[in-house]
Structure formats: C-alpha cells, structure tokens
Structure 1
Amino acid sequence: MLLETVRCEDGKALHLSYHQARMERALETLEAGNIYSLQSLISPPEKGTFRCRFLYDRDRFQIEYHPYAPKAIRSLKAVHSNDLSYPLKSTERQELDALFARRGQCDDVLIIRNGFLSDTTIANIALKIKGIWLTPNTPLLPGTTRERLIRENVLISAPLRLEDIPQAESIAVMNAMIGFVEIENGIIV
C-alpha cells in the first residue's frame, strides 16, 4: 500500500494540500479512478501531537493515528545505492531497511545514487553552502516539506555531490513529522 504521513497537532492536520497533491500524483500513476479527500477523511485527536498514517491504494484506504515521539538524527553515514528506486511513498521499504541496517553507529544513512546526494531513509536533506540552503535535485522521494520549502523560497533545488558536503556550513533533514532540523554532528563518510 501507499501512504501519506501527516503531522497532526491538537486536532489539526498540517500542510494537507501538499499531501493531497502527492497522493493524487501517486493515484494518477496507478491509473486509479479514486481520489480521496484527506481534508474530509482525516480527523485527528483533539489534544497532542500525532502521526497520521493514511494508507491507500486504488480501491481502499485506512487511517491510523499514533502519538508522536521525534527521533533524534544527529549523524548520517553515506551509503551508495545506484539502483535504488522509491518513486511512490509506500509501505514496501525492504531496500530502505537494508540500507538503514548499514548505518553503523550513526542515526541514519545518507543515500548516494550515481554520485549524487539523495535522501536519508526517512527524510530529505539540505546543505547550507555560502549562506544558501540547497536540497538535492535528485531526491529518492520528493517530500512534502521539501516541496513546501522550495515554494516558500527557503530551499533551492540543486545538483549536490558527496564532495559538496565539506563546503556545507550546516546540514539539515526534513520531513512532514520533524519539519526542518539541522543535524548536530553532520555526515560521516
């Protein structure tokens, strides 16, 4: 099944228009006739922060709410995986899980595909170079937070390579749940 992970705070689902757009693109790829309305289907608990998992395919959907406890990401280990493809956000994550298992003492991995920076197993990334936040133009999965920050002119999409990391003044990860967070210890090559 495919999924959208939506941050919900005190009864409100955040940034739904970006999740709706990505879901509609995925359903179009599947040539599905159904379009689900996240706005009308998601009804989170009134108090607290929750991770809403909206699971769907062309014929059905399921909604789960889980209390959210953020995972700290302080370090990333660079791993190469040229053939990895994850164009639709899916529950099928075996290849990502195998890469995650190679993280060693780091919190996650930074996936390098064909020499270009991509994503971690759960987040898009950004490098601050010469005072400008850049995000790889070769993401494994274009995230909703990445898309929003590009549209808000906070991020610029650019070709980024492993060799660009030493130039970075700061490194950040982003997704719908954590928002945009700078990494404390950076990337271990």
Structure 2
Amino acid sequence: MPLLLETIKIEDGDIHDLSYHQARCDRSRHELFGSTDTLDLLSAIQAPTKGIYRCRILYNESIHSIDYLPYTAKEIHTLKVIPSNIVYDYKYANREALDTLLQMHSDVDEVIIEKEGYLTDTTIANIAFYNGKQWITPARPLLEGTMRAKLLEEGFLHKKEIKKEDLKTYTHVALMNAMLGFKILNHFKIKT
C-alpha cells in the first residue's frame, strides 16, 4: 500500500490552510483505499510555537509519521521545459520519478513538466503565468496542489491549457505550494 504525503506550513504555531490539506487527505484516502473515515490532522499535529516548519505527514489508511522540519526556501532562477509522461495524480511520498527528472537536468534549478503537449507543474510546485491582466495556471496540473486550489477558489487564479509556445505571451511566472505560498520569480530564465 503506497504512502501518501501532506506537507503543511506551520509558522509560529499557526497551521496554514489546514482545511485544504484535510480535504486532499480525505479525497486521496477515499479514492485510493476506499476509506470512508477521516484522519483528524488537526488533532495529530503538535505545532511548534516559534519559527517556520514543514510539517511532513506520511499516511495511507492511517498516519504513519509526522515530522517537523525547519524550512528554508529553495532559490529558483532557471527553469527548463521538459517533456515527460510522468504520472503523479496523488501526493505520493515516493517522489523518485520527479527527483530523477530534475537530476537529469542539473543545468537548471527546476523543470517545468510538459505532458501531452501542455505545461503542467514543476517538480516541487504548481505554476502560474501572468498575461498582463490575470494569473493563469495550467488546466491540467500534474498534481492539484492545496495552494492552487485555494487561489482558484478565491478567484485569484484562472485555469487555461498552456503550451510551451504560449510562454512568450506571459510577462511573469510564479510558483506555488503549501510552503512557498504564491511566489513570483523576479529574476528568472525559462529554457525551452
């Protein structure tokens, strides 16, 4: 039975966006294991009161472990569009295929995965592009992240299918995940 992962930001004792993590946990357990109960993440988390932590929960039908890791954001300046047929519909703890894809392209900080001709995500985050009026996120992400779900629900993000050739129509790029929030990359280069 595969292990799944939830990565939750804890900042000075505040657990960020827990309802989105709980919803994904419940949905994943139901779809993969037929579980009808809920793992109460709030009761399981013992939030550190000072500092920024990555709360890493490993689970399947039950919680296997919870770790609290001090967080430092990865610096990203160079991205490269890479075609791949990788499948990562659920947030599996086994990220070997994603890690290998990034290692194969060590000339850049992060890769943008192109699947079936459309841009999806990077190996660590969902992605969005600014067209001068609004932020657009790929309609077909590799993984439906919690921050992406929140920003779509709030109307800040809009979904659209994006091809590599469309990149020239966008002026900015942002990465988003539970830890980064919504981070606009100010100094970046995308190799295609």
TM range (shorter): over 0.9
CA positional deviation for 1:139 = 0.3
* Partner residue, 2:43: 40
The letter of the residue matching 2:48 is P
User: What is the percentage of aligned positions where both structures have the same residue?
Assistant: 40
* Partner residue, 2:66: 63
CA positional deviation for 1:182 = 1.4
* Partner residue, 1:108: 110
**1:78 lines up with 2:91 in the alignment:** no
User: 1:76 touches 1:187 (CA, 8 Å); kept in 2?
Assistant: yes
For normalisation by structure 1, the TM-score amounts to: 0.95
* Partner residue, 1:159: 161
* Partner residue, 2:170: 168
Instruction: Tell me the distance in 1 between the aligned counterparts of 2:11 and 2:76.
Output: 21
For normalisation by structure 2, the TM-score amounts to: 0.94
* Partner residue, 1:4: 6
CA positional deviation for 1:84 = 1.2
CA positional deviation for 1:130 = 3.2
* Partner residue, 1:147: 149
Moved more, 29-38 or 16-25: 29-38
Instruction: Tell me the distance in 1 between the aligned counterparts of 2:28 and 2:40.
Output: 14
Instruction: Tell me the distance in 2 between the aligned counterparts of 1:118 and 1:168.
Output: 16
SS at match of 1:118: strand
CA positional deviation for 1:105 = 2.2
SS at match of 2:23: helix
SS at match of 1:119: strand
Instruction: Tell me the distance in 1 between the aligned counterparts of 2:105 and 2:80.
Output: 6
User: 1:171 touches 1:186 (CA, 8 Å); kept in 2?
Assistant: no
Moved more, 59-68 or 154-163: 59-68
Instruction: Tell me the distance in 2 between the aligned counterparts of 1:68 and 1:28.
Output: 30
Query: What number of residue pairs does the alignment pair up?
Result: 188
CA positional deviation for 1:162 = 0.5
List, as ranges, runs of 4+ consecutive aligned residues in structure 1 with deviation greater than 3 Å.
none
The letter of the residue matching 1:102 is M
CA positional deviation for 1:104 = 3.1
Moved more, 91-100 or 7-16: 91-100
Instruction: Tell me the distance in 2 between the aligned counterparts of 1:48 and 1:155.
Output: 29
The letter of the residue matching 2:18 is L
Q: CA RMSD in A?
A: 1.1
Moved more, 103-112 or 144-153: 103-112
SS at match of 2:69: strand
**1:188 lines up with 2:167 in the alignment:** no
Deviations 1:10-56 (A, max 9, x none): 11110000000000010001212442111111121110000000110
Instruction: Tell me the distance in 1 between the aligned counterparts of 2:63 and 2:191.
Output: 42
Moved more, 54-63 or 107-116: 54-63
